Structure 1
Amino acid sequence: MEQDNTIGLDDAEVVECLADSIETQCSHASSPHDITHINRIEKEVLQKTFLEHKDDLTPVSLSKVQTLVKSLNTRKAPGLDGISNKAIKCFSLPLLSLLVAIFNACQKNCYFPPAWKEAEIIGIHKPGKPRDLPASYRPISLLSGQAKLFERVLKTRLSDHLLGKGINFD
């Protein structure tokens, strides 16, 4: 304890405390599991994954990806891959074409790379709250910029596809 009765924590202790708090909040150890429900969901997912997929979405174009890249917010922090939106905006045409080819392969194969699902979780201090309490931090997930771009590609393409079929979700 310090002289003013506050607890002095270094960054590593704050991180550990925040991690412990998140683990406690997200722990399922205290909540009961409905095994019947889980089995029913797993069976349904398995049935749907073995359906023959209809690939009637046309490949994404380089120009569409270029348009989406131009609209990226450069003030967003990068995910675990360290590639910022600012860097993506600086991709050369051959590199952007390669990214489009990756997006089209992912779409065709119904594949979302596992690395794009990983996030770095950091705590943002809530203004006016004591820095030594885990509840004083709001956790945020830093995701891959490429993953978010691919999600935007999918969202716009699916929206356009559904609109073409007369379905509107807005």
Structure 2
Amino acid sequence: MKLRDDAKKEAKLSGLESDFAVYRKLRNRVVSEVRKAKTCFYREKLDSCSGNPKQTWNTINSLLGRRHTVSPACVLTNEKLLSKPRDIAEHFAGFYEDKVTTLRSSMDQANDVPVYPGHTQRLRIGLTEQFTFQTVSGKDVHKVLSRLPDGKAPGKDDLDNKLLKMSAGAVAEPIAYIINLSFKTAKFPTRWKHAKVVPIPKDTSKPLSGTNSRPVSLLPACGKVCEILASEQIVSYLSQSGLQSEAQHAYRKYHDEWLHSMDNGMMTAVVLLDYSAAFDLVDHGRLLNKLSSCGFSEETVGWVQSYLSN
């Protein structure tokens, strides 16, 4: 490496192509030697775990830089100190469930509608086609896998984005098969619904508690791939059918009209509202009825219903 660095300095000083050629040759040699050393290191690490699956996976996780989520050692609630992991988990689970239940009970249910498929009202006026999921290919899955961000914590299956991206060439087709089977049978894979819920503190200067935390659900990466592919088809249909309001700006690409107004030097006022547990409070019956009225096929609505169910 010292020879490489010296050659680089000399090439920069002289500016001669011959000196740069010497530098590039030494640089490539260093890169090659480093790769060989890494390969030898990884092989020795894995060989030392031969016959011990648990140690093998621990070594792989260590080499990939995976970190296990550290659970809080103790939580103070109602003047009671919880130290057992199970008690802490049950405390947070109960708090989050009670929060949603309380919010739902406070909502006005006077205009509630029957759960799908009891509601018969339809709003298909002007719709010329019915939406149903199209078959996805291994290439589609591979494309989504390549876009997954690195460094995200894995779900309960411990398959993180980095590992799936590295093995995309081998797993894209099997994942596509499962997704297509899911669309065809109108059933979202149960295991892809299982999540690790991690309480993240809102204010790190205060003790972790139910009120001073927000739940983050770590879902399986394969389930996220399925969600992305389903979402792309749904959004495309809604956009092409003119079913999205022009006044809707959230969760839409290239539709920030107020940002365009600001870019054009116009005075722009924006009111942002934050609903507590907004997604948890979506009425599933109304949502399914709305999808049906927007031309979604019975199979597609059934798939969404399966996705939303526990």
Q: CA RMSD in A?
A: 3.6
Post-superposition CA distance 1:59-109 (Å, at most 9, x none): 112222211111101222112222111121122534221111111121222
Counterpart mapping for 1:1-170 below 5 A: 10=83, 12=85, 14-27=88-101, 31=105, 37=112, 40-44=114-118, 57-126=133-202, 127-131=204-208, 133-163=209-239, 165-167=240-242, 169=244, 170=252
Larger Rg: 2
- TM-score w.r.t. the length of structure 1 is 0.70
Distance between the aligned counterparts of 1:91 and 1:147, measured in 2? 16
Give the direction of change, closer, same or farther, for the CA distance of 1:140–1:88 in structure 2 (3 Å limit).
Answer: same
Q: CA 1:84 to 1:67, structure 2 compared with 1: closer, same or farther past 3 Å?
A: same
Aligned positions, number: 157
Identity of aligned residues (%): 24
Aligned with 1:135: secondary structure? coil
TM-score of the aligned structures, taking structure 2 as reference length: 0.42
- Deviation string for 1:101-121 (max 9, x for gaps)? 111121222221122222221
CA separation of 1:55 and 1:34: change in aligned 2, threshold 3 A: closer
| Structure 1 segments unaligned to the other structure (5+ residues) | 1-5, 49-53
Question: Structure 1 CA distance, aligned partners of 2:140 and 2:214?
Answer: 35
